[in-house]
A = this chain, B = another copy of it.
Amino acid sequence: MDAIPNILAQRYASAAIRDIWSPSGKIRLEREYWIAVMKAQVDLGMSIPAEAIKAYEAALDDIDLAAIDRRERITRHDVKARIEAFNEKAGAEHIHKGMTSRDLTENVEQLQLYRSVRILFLKSLAVLKAFSVKADEYKDVVLTARTHNVAAQPTTVGKRIAMFGEDLMRATRKLGALLEDYPARGLKGAVGTQLDLLTLFDGDVEKVSQLESRVLKHLGLPGQLFTVGQVYPRSLDFEVISLFNLVASGPSSFARTLRLMAGHELGSEGFSKGQVGSSAMPHKMNARSCERINGFATILKGYLSMVQGLMGDQWNEGDVSCSVVRRVALPDACFALDGLLETTLTVLTQMEVYPAVIDRENAYYFPFLSTTTLLMEAVKAGTGREQAHEAIKENAVATVADLRAGKISANNLAERLAADSRLGLSKEQIDGVISSAEKLSGKASAQVDAFARTVTALLKDYPEAGAYEPEPIL
């Protein structure tokens, strides 16, 4: 039987993330970690032969997954299997001294997560920039904004895009903040008291502290925990996956809205070069990548539910009821968010907007959206407010009724009002008001500028993020 691949990793995630979570990728991280521990132990006076360390270093990439798997099926202890495998390759038995399994796995898994967060943070920045570029491109394309999915007031396409970008901006910042304060569990021993390390160093508290510091420095995580048990609090996993969900929010609302716009042919997610749409049904530019973005967001909610189930459920100093859950939820949440960001970046790059269709829609709705202004103009021109209001209301209601009944096919409210002597405005005056509705997008354009400036400032220190190009998506 063929092996069943991790569909999120293999189908949607980028190579950089896959590399971190691949079986051999993880084992490499563990081995580097063991070597770092040994070197620190030597520095602090423990006698481990230099050639042994060299042998371990030489064996770093000599990873035989199948052999490790066979070992585990005998010992039923995954860490022990990996210790033995590394020892065998190096021909020595010096790793893992004074350590318990969790001293290895907790820290290495945190490292995997942290490195993933770093990639995802940079990719979020890249998406932010793409939002900003598109918002700028369309900042003055006036569009009929909708509330309750119904025409409401003018806005611009760019403002609409920036609106979703601002959602992502806050989330990206939070992700960036996490990179500054994410705490490692550290070398704390079986129940968190560092007993075994203290024993190893004959009770020398100072040496144990130094050992932990050096190892943490190797990991490169920005913070550390102090009074954990066997495990770090699972609220930390929840915090990370919760941020992933936050990051998904803006792209997801954007994708949902682009699906709506595609339904009106106001825009589309475009096609990748070379991709062939349905040739006989060229109008059918399905927003399938946008749909997928929404799908990823739904998936992320599921992984949040999983880590949520672990949080606040620690028994005493900890156990492994979290193990199988974290094996699934942590990598797969990283793959899902990575896929979401890659897809969003692609959509933002390829999306199209159809100003002519937008104009047609505006033409249809602007007469209605202009009624307030028309009322003011009529009053200015000397018509009584109540009389003007009555005239507008009657004609507007009749226009909608006729449009819906098929009596007319274009909005002729302007003609009706011009013909209604109660209002006292000429066709020219009325047309003038309606055509200037275009200008009624308020601060939309200025808001896009402000958004773009903030994005630029945010990306200043991350030029690589601004230059990032997504991998081709399926």
Contact = CB atoms under 8 A, between A and B. Distances in A.
A76 to B, nearest CB: 6
Interface string A274-297: 111001111111111001101111
Contacts of A250: 233, 235, 312
Contacts of A198: 442-443
Interface stretch (A46-54, A142-150, A213-221): A142-150
A295 B324 contact: yes
Nearest to A292: B324
A396 interface: yes
A310 interface: yes
Contacts of A294: 312, 321
Interface stretch (A109-117, A237-245, A459-467): A237-245
Contact of A5 (B4, B233, B276): B4
Contacts of A447: 192-193, 226-227
B150 A256 contact: no
A171 to B, nearest CB: 6
Number of copies of this chain that the complex holds: 4
Q: Is the interface of A mostly helix, strand, loop or mixed?
A: helix
Contact of A304 (B283, B308, B316, B339): B308
A405 B149 contact: no
Contact of A191 (B152, B171, B329, B365): B152
A208 B447 CA distance: 14
Interface stretch (A36-44, A122-130, A259-267, A418-426): A259-267
A436 to B, nearest CB: 12
B6 A319 contact: no
A147 B288 contact: no
Nearest to A231: B147
Given A6-B4, A153-B193, A397-B279, A249 B324 contact: no
Contact of A440 (B195, B252, B291): B195
Counting contact residues on chain A (CB < 8 A from B), the size range is 35 or more
A262 to B, nearest CB: 6
B292 A320 contact: yes
A383 interface: no
A5 B302 CA distance: 20
A67 interface: no
A335 to B, nearest CB: 8
A29 interface: no
A298 interface: yes
Contacts of A9: 4
A21 B4 CA distance: 8
B4 A162 contact: no
A386 to B, nearest CB: 12
Contacts of A397: 279, 282
B319 A148 contact: yes
Contacts of A403: 265, 356-357
A10 to B, nearest CB: 6
A191 B153 CA distance: 7
A228 B159 CA distance: 9
Nearest to A440: B195
A319 B294 CA distance: 11
Contact of A193 (B21, B281, B365, B442): B442
Contacts of A230: 147, 152
Contact of A22 (B2, B76, B253): B2
A434 interface: no
A474 B76 contact: yes
Contact of A275 (B12, B76, B360, B448): B76
A138 interface: no
18 contacts: A8-B328, A76-B474, A146-B315, A146-B317, A147-B229, A149-B316, A150-B263, A151-B283, A152-B191, A152-B284, A166-B225, A170-B235, A226-B450, A226-B451, A238-B246, A252-B312, A283-B400, A304-B308
